[in-house]
Every structure is written in structure tokens, then in C-alpha cells.
Amino acid sequence: MSLSEDSNFNKQNGFNKQNRQCLLGFGCMRLPGDFEKSERLILHAIKNGVDYFDTAYIYPGKEVLLGKILAKNKVRDRVKIATKLPIMLVKSAEDFDNFFNKQLSRLQTDYIDCYMLHMLVNPAQLQGLIDMGLNDWVNKKKQSGEIREFGFSFHGSPNDFIKLIDCGTITQSRQCLWDFVMIQYNYLDTHCQAGIDGLRYAHSKGIPVIVMEPLRGGTLANPKQIPKKAMKVFGSRNPAELALKWLKNHEEISCILSGMRNKSDLESNLAAIDGEITEEELEIIDEVTAIFREQNSINCTGCNYCLPCPVGVNIPGCFFAYNAKSLREYAMNTGALFSKSTAAACVNCGKCEPKCPQAIAIGESLKKVKRRMEPFWIRWGFSLARKFTSKRRKKK
């Protein structure tokens, strides 16, 4: 039975479209590192009806943080935990249990509500896991109740997404392997990765779709990253709220996963999920989208999967500053005044590119950043600043 057919699970999990507020899920990747701040934020979210919390094995400290907060406040039974198997680290069948058991321990729980293959890209990758015994392992975990629902998060091409949906559908004779899927989707990424066609295809198969990156890593909420021309189109309207309301307008979406850093983010998202988008606002989104398309920007969401860079380049920081056209942001984000972590330090080793969910040509993009943000006189200034700060540190 798929997730969409299980009305019991839908009611509990907040995937039921009748409960509009529960359409909002909480992405834990960007939680503040401070325990008390994160605790207040998560408890406030639960109090306001948010009951789906997403994390992953490779999000540093986030599984431990979430587990500690839920256990301390005795609210585990009020929420659904979603986390992910780091398939890029799986080498053998034994790793399924090795990672899963460690995650149970981190999260201080004996079951996972929604378990995913993290960053599944293509059918060949899935087949490799099936050859290791993935199907039998998932079935056993479901029978024991340790996994309630199983799916995958996707970062690949539209065609491969369709193939993966079909692979999951025919893998087992009695039921679909996938109870849900998670894709990146927002008003700028309608034809990126799974895109609108993938969203509709999964929905047509009765597979609920969770949307991540609804604000594109904060780009669609941050006035510094939104073109000035677009900000004028928004007027007094909140860009983040409109982006979320635009997603809510899609009947195919079962959950909108947002990485909220503070109470202000949470309140804004709750307000957006509680509202309906108007025809005028849809026209505004269309106009803003067109303006974004005009910009010579790099399609980075700030997920940090490309890090660490072997030579220390702050890749997302470089791209953020480039898109914002801000030399100040560039100097701050790359630490250019203290160390050689700018785009110019890139040796084009290529180690970062296979890790990028957006399939960005990182080496070539960093060259673009260097040309714009580091003309010779800027590099000269950075070099002088580093020598000056180095001398001061030595004196101290």
C-alpha cells in the first residue's frame, strides 16, 4: 500500500491536504548549532502544528540535536522523523544496518517514520543497492516497524526521475517500493532536476511528493539575492511567503519542507501556508521569474554538499556573493582578508562537481566568479590585507 492510500498515515503525518498548516515540514539541515535556540524553534513549530522533521546522516550533528530535543521534551510521539541513508557511503549490505542503527541511536528512537535513500540519481545507482539486498532489507524493517515509510530524495535529470519512479513501481510484485519521494522544486526550478513533469508523474502514480528547497536555499527570501528589479515588483509583499503560497497552489505537493533558522522564518512560513495565492500574486511570480532568468547567476542553493574543498575554497560563499554582485559579501564569505579561500584558489581538481545536486560546472563557474569578483586590483588588495593581518597575528 502506498502512502497516499494509507489514510491513517496521512492523517498522522500531515500529508493530508485537508490540513493546510501541516503541509509545512521542518528541514533541520540549517538549524542553529545552539541547542537552546534550536529547542525553542522546534517546540514552537510543534505547538503550531508542524509535525514532520527532516534530517540526514550527513548533516553534521543534526540527527543528534533533533533526537535530544524530542527526547528531552517527550514529544517523539507527536512528530514524524524523516532521515536518510547515505548511499554514497554504502559499500556492502552490512552498511544498511550499520548506518540505520547509528541513526536510531542518534535520534534516540526505535523507529523512523520516513526513511530515504539520500541523493538517488539514476536507475543504475538503485540497481546497485538492490543487488546488495535493499528490497529484502526494507521489507524486514517495515515488518518489524522500524521503518514506517520508504522513499528517496532526488538530485538528477528529469528522465532519470521518471525511470526511478517506474523502477520502484515494478521492483516488487505486490506493492510499490516507494511510499513517497522528495524533490527540489520552486518557482525557478520548474524544469530543473525532477521539475514539473516529474512532480506530476509521481502524483499520477499515487506517490506523495515532498518538496525541498522551496526558497532555493534562501535565495527566494533574501532581498540581497533577489534582483532589485524583482523586489520592486514584489512591492510590500513578502517574497518568501509568495514563494510558499505558489507551491501550496500545486495539488500534487504533499509536504513543503523548509529549512527554518529562526522564529521569524517559522512565523513567515506558517503565515504563508495558512494563506491562498491570488491571481495577481501568480502574475507577480511570473514577472519575478522572468527577471531572475535575465540575470547571469549561478544555480547554487547553498546546500554545502560540495564542501570541504581540498584547497579550502568556500564554494557556496563565492556563488552567493557572485549572484548578489557584492564585493563586501565576497570578502566576508570567503575570508579573503585572512586566507586564500577565494575563487582564485581553485585548482580545478573536479572533486566537488560529482557531489553537486544542481550539476553545476563548479570549476568553470568559479572562473566566472574570479573574473567578476577578483580583478587584478582586488587580488592585489586582498594580498596586502592578508599580509597586514598576518603580521598583526604574529605580533600578538
**pLDDT, tens digit, 9 for 90 and up, residues 91-143:** 999 999 999 999 999 999 999 999 999 989 889 899 999 999 999 999 999 99
DSSP tag of 186: -
Alpha-helical segments (H) within 295-361? 315-324, 327-334
Alpha-helical segments (H) within the chain? 7-13, 35-47, 62-72, 94-107, 123-131, 134-144, 158-171, 195-204, 228-234, 239-248, 263-273, 279-294, 315-324, 327-334, 362-373, 376-395
Per-residue pLDDT at 241: 93
Least confidently predicted of 20-29, 74-83, 211-220: 20-29
> How many whole angstroms separate alpha carbon 186 and alpha carbon 212?
8
Q: Which residues contact 240 (CB under 8 A, 6 or more apart)?
A: 215, 220, 221, 265, 268, 269, 272
Per-residue pLDDT at 59: 93
Per-residue pLDDT at 21: 43
Q: Can you count the helices (H) and strands (E) in the chain?
A: 16, 8
Per-residue pLDDT at 383: 62
Higher pLDDT, 41 or 191: 41
> pLDDT per residue over 334-391, tens digit each?
765 555 678 988 999 999 999 888 789 999 999 999 988 887 666 666 666 555 444 4
> Are 90 and 129 spatial neighbours (Cβ–Cβ below 8 Å)?
yes
Per-residue pLDDT at 374: 83
> How many whole angstroms separate alpha carbon 250 and alpha carbon 185?
11
Per-residue pLDDT at 375: 79
Read off the pLDDT band of 307 (50, 70, 90). Answer: confident
Q: Mean pLDDT throughout 4-11? A: 32
- Select from 302, 339, 332, 307 the least CA-distant residue to 319: 302
> How many whole angstroms separate alpha carbon 323 and alpha carbon 316?
11
Domains of the chain: 3-294 (3.20.20.100), 315-395 (no CATH)
Per-residue pLDDT at 217: 82
The model carries a pTM of 0.77
> pLDDT per residue over 135-180, tens digit each?
999 999 999 999 999 999 998 778 889 999 998 665 444 456 899 9
> Are 273 and 24 spatial neighbours (Cβ–Cβ below 8 Å)?
yes
| pLDDT > 90 fraction of the chain, expressed in percent and rounded | 58
Q: Degrees (nearest 5) of the Cα angle 90, 93, 99?
A: 50
> Are 40 and 263 spatial neighbours (Cβ–Cβ below 8 Å)?
yes
Per-residue pLDDT at 336: 53
Residue 11 has pLDDT above 70, yes or no: no
